Structure 1
């Protein structure tokens, strides 16, 4: 029964990821129609929580945060537990564009069993969080989470883990707030260079996509990760799979090379992941490589 449930979860997640890129295709048309909140089309939230860490036999706390504009946000604090000693680091987990923390966080539960505490954040409009998912307002949500973590656990190092669009958000936030919140490292799973370029990649697979491809110039570019990653000067681990059919492997590679050119002496690490989109942590060797990175802040040789 558990395997069937996991399969359904992964299928739903893959479907929602594809819906994200289909929605991006129509962003241009809505721009022509006068839509002013195009960034809302980057997100596909779901209110209902389908599970909690308790279902995975993990202790957790519901944490309620308040963004700078007053929006109330929901998150899970999953403390380190089990036989492994408590680590000196903690993760802020930023999930993908669809559903909510209940359908994404299963991929990072393993961290708690390895001594790493995690705060899994639901952006505004996702799960039990108030508001509507928009950029740049979502960056306020990440700031509220980072502030809570540093105030309540000042003895731990803060590392941000972002998957897919969560990786894009992690890059945007870290580029402007790494020093303020003492962010020590980034872990990025399946990041992309830009919203428009990723939409074009999705469009190329359909006839309709080719017809509206020219209008992708109207998709906002101010939050494109490739514009901000040069500003980041902390150890960073990027993972991407050649089997990723949602975000092209070449997109992650381009992001890596851009960052590397800007900071050749910094520890920027690349790992070839495995499996479909954002499935890196389904593989024990990639889990271990991540643990090694956060412990040493260095690339494996």
Structure 2
């Protein structure tokens, strides 16, 4: 038992020092899709996002039912997770997917602080330009990133879905 405790204490600094890198592990899967648009983040990085307009003919892009923004999880990126929300365009919603710093097309390194600042940046951007009901879908770690940013930077949101928070 003492040797286990000693080994744990010796490895603890190594494990905690690598926690950020181990926790934030963006993949490099790059699928083609809608054109990438850039947003300057409070993190100092450029975050990539894609904006999808409603696809049904009865609803114009000027009068959608609402806007849905997706906060992806730890090892995802917008191309991998767009299928979770892009289908909503068929029902008259705008959809925004984006990558945190260090994920997908976004610049910078993947850190907890930068993801938090990126989330605040995307919420501020949407709040400034969106005039429809706003909904958030957040998956896994994206749930925690979103909730922390929203708690510190509250904006009006009409509905929230947290998938595996």
Separation in structure 2 between the aligned mates of residue 169 and residue 98 of structure 1, nearest angstrom: 14
Separation in structure 2 between the aligned mates of residue 143 and residue 29 of structure 1, nearest angstrom: 37
Q: 2:84 aligns with which of 76, 87, 107?
A: 107
Q: CA RMSD in A?
A: 2.3
Deviation string for 1:203-257 (max 9, x for gaps)? xxxxxxxxxxxxxxxxxxxxxxxxxxxxxxxxxxxxxxxxxxxxxxxxxxxxxxx
Q: CA deviation at 1:51?
A: 3.1
Separation in structure 1 between the aligned mates of residue 11 and residue 101 of structure 2, nearest angstrom: 22
The residue aligned with 1:189 is: 163
The residue aligned with 1:81 is: 55
Alignment map for 1:121-270 (pairs within 5 Å): 121-153=98-130, 155-178=131-154, 181-191=155-165
Distance 1:34 1:111, change over 3 A: closer
Q: Secondary structure at the match of 1:44?
A: coil
Q: Secondary structure at the match of 1:33?
A: helix
Quick check: 1:100–1:122 contact (8 Å CA) kept in 2? yes
Q: Secondary structure at the match of 2:142?
A: helix
Quick check: 2:41–2:47 contact (8 Å CA) kept in 1? yes
The residue aligned with 1:92 is: 69
Deviation string for 1:34-58 (max 9, x for gaps)? 7546233212212341232xxxxxx
Quick check: 2:72–2:140 contact (8 Å CA) kept in 1? yes
The residue aligned with 2:97 is: 120
Q: CA deviation at 1:84?
A: 4.7
Q: Secondary structure at the match of 1:73?
A: strand
Q: TM-score, normalised by structure 1?
A: 0.47
Q: Gaps (5+ residues) in structure 2? A: 1-8
Q: 1:63 aligns with which of 5, 12, 37?
A: 37
- Which structure would you say has the larger RCO, counting Cα contacts within 8 Å and 6 or more residues apart? 2
The residue aligned with 2:4 is: none
Distance 1:37 1:69, change over 3 A: farther
Query: Is 2:25 aligned against 1:44?
Result: yes
Q: CA deviation at 1:143?
A: 1.5
- Greater helix share, 1 or 2? 1
Distance 1:39 1:112, change over 3 A: same
Q: Secondary structure at the match of 1:50?
A: coil
Q: CA deviation at 1:79?
A: 1.4
Q: 1:72 aligns with which of 36, 41, 46?
A: 46
Distance 1:84 1:129, change over 3 A: same
Separation in structure 2 between the aligned mates of residue 29 and residue 63 of structure 1, nearest angstrom: 46
Q: TM-score, normalised by structure 2?
A: 0.81
The number of equivalent residue pairs is 154
